[in-house]
Amino acid sequence: MTSQATVHGLLERNARKYLTEEAFVTPTSRLSYSQVNAFANQIAHYLKNSGVGSGERILILSRNNEQFLFSFFGVLKIGAIVAPINTRLTKEELVQVLMNIGAVGILYEASFSTMIHELNHAISTIWMHCIQNILQFQHHLPTSNLDLPIRAEDPCEILFTSGTTGTPKAVLFSHDRLRNLAAAICVEFHITRSDKLLTLMPLTHSAPLNCFFLSGIYAGSSHVIADFSPQLFLQSIQSEHSTITFAAPIGYILAAKELNVQSFDLSSVRVFAYGGGSLASTAYIQIKSAFQSDRFYQVYGLTEAGPNGSFLSPDEHLAKAGSIGMHPTLNMELRVVRDDGTDVSSGERGEIILAGDTLMLGYYHALHGISEVTDHGWLKTGDIAYRDEEGYVFIVDRKKDIIISGGVNIYPREIEEVLSSHPAVTEACVVGVPNDEWGETVKAVVVLNKSVTEQELRTHVASSLADYKCPRIYQFVPELPRNANGKVLKNDLKK
């Protein structure tokens, strides 16, 4: 039998324990753990018969559905490394990713056949197999578990960072580090067999996949997976009686703005989790009012850490809105340090560093292998933060995003929060643009939901911030430019 110390070992355990009990709800299917395990085994046998070996990299091109489930676990079962890829990437971006990690093949959902056809013309050295075709035309394949020597410390997953410039880095994890993360999240959020997790954020991203989906697998919970829309988000909670949800802050914001949230029955939810950014106090109050709930948890962490780091509990949100919490999650360490590595004093700004048993093995590249990026076990996050007098950590900005104007450090995030608190502003991004006299000057790029003048925004910002922080340039756009992972392309806004 495959070791229980692997990620797919969790699926196999659940298949034995829970047999025919419903465990997965997708847009087109309702499946048990044993059914998902059987289909994953067929994918695994197919790959093994095709000569795919241990440690080889396989991309998955699929939306949140049963095809993703079958292929994700199928790849793991043969000791290969699974690499879920963002479905919004262009052909050129896919080629670059394939080359960088030295992938041997792609398992793809049938709806991406046109993209695969174009990709096949651009790179013919790898195989490309449709997941549905494997299961339809190879139905004679065994549904039994494979007996292969796969160790807990073996690499098993690559996720791609959502950098705003250049090719995303390939973050490599092993089975044991993913299981450590799943166990920690289960403890922190008290996830049990009785929970039903709603995952509508792309499973190509680290938080929905590693934090919540795999923690649910660890606990033997049931799952609802699909692609996000505000309407589907609320409808799924109501119809499936979900108990735990995860979304980016914008997901909750859009639901609150576009829908009458209180017309949906959300009483089953005990955890509204969010990550990828903090909620300012005004935004939190608006969402709390719309959802008629105070059960919001903020999760902080980097892809490179699992993601794992810290969280802010519901009873801390009002008093400490904007904080990522005070304590790290289970088996993690979190410090805020100066450039020399010493801990900052209360109110002093420094960089967050993380250590723990969920950190990545390193960045993977086909030519260079695994690059070690920790310093004596500590991962530098690039997040500039401070602790208040009680020890709560507040992120000020990304280290690389700091604007230096006239020799003074200006933190865009602080300005963005003030701009976003105006009722006419849907979204705002602040960048530094070159200036001959000052080095850089502050520019605000704003998305509006109703009419407002530039002068009104200037007055609004000036009422909360010092003069030197106030944007000198305003640009109004219908939407902010983003990469395939949804991160704002700040370099484009500096032009």
Q: How far apart are CA 327 and CA 350, in angstroms?
A: 17
Going by C-beta distance under 8 Å and a sequence separation of 6 or more, which residues neighbour residue 432?
A: 403, 404, 405, 410, 412, 440, 441, 442, 443, 494
pLDDT at position 149 over 80:
yes
Angle ∠(427,433,438) on CA atoms, nearest 5:
130
- Report the range of poorest mean pLDDT among 176-190, 289-303, 359-373: 359-373
In this predicted structure, what is the pLDDT of residue 165?
Answer: 46
Dihedral of alpha carbons 412, 249, 307, 106, sign:
negative
Q: Are 259 and 277 in contact (CB under 8 A)?
A: no
> What mean pLDDT comes out for the span 63-91?
96
**Beta strand segments in 190-261, E:** 196-199, 222-225, 244-247
Q: Where are the domains of the chain?
A: 7-328+359-366, 402-493
pLDDT at 475: 96
Write the CB contacts of 201 (distance below 8 Å, at least 6 apart in sequence): 207, 208, 228, 246, 247, 248, 251
CATH (one of 3.30.360.10, 1.25.10.10, 3.30.70.1230, 3.40.50.12780) for 7-328+359-366: 3.40.50.12780
The beta strand positions in 131-270, using DSSP E, are 155-160, 170-174, 196-199, 222-225, 244-247
Q: Which residues fall within 8 angstroms of residue 480, CB to CB, at 6 or more apart?
A: 427, 429, 445, 447, 488, 489, 493
Q: Among the ranges 3-12, 186-195, 279-288, 393-402, which has the highest mean pLDDT value? A: 186-195
The average confidence (pLDDT) of the chain is: 92
pLDDT for residue 322: 83
pLDDT of 399 higher than 50 = yes
Residue 435 in this model has a pLDDT that exceeds 90: no
**pLDDT tens per residue, range 313-338:** 999 988 898 899 999 999 999 999 99
Can you tell me whether residue 188 is helix, strand or coil?
helix
Contact between residue 233 and residue 247 where contact means Cβ atoms under 8 Å apart:
yes
Decide: helix, strand or coil at residue 165.
coil
Asked if residue 344 has pLDDT above 50, the reply is yes
* Domain at 402-493, CATH from 2.60.40.420, 3.40.640.10, 3.40.50.10420, 3.30.300.30: 3.30.300.30
pLDDT given for residue 163 in this prediction? 53
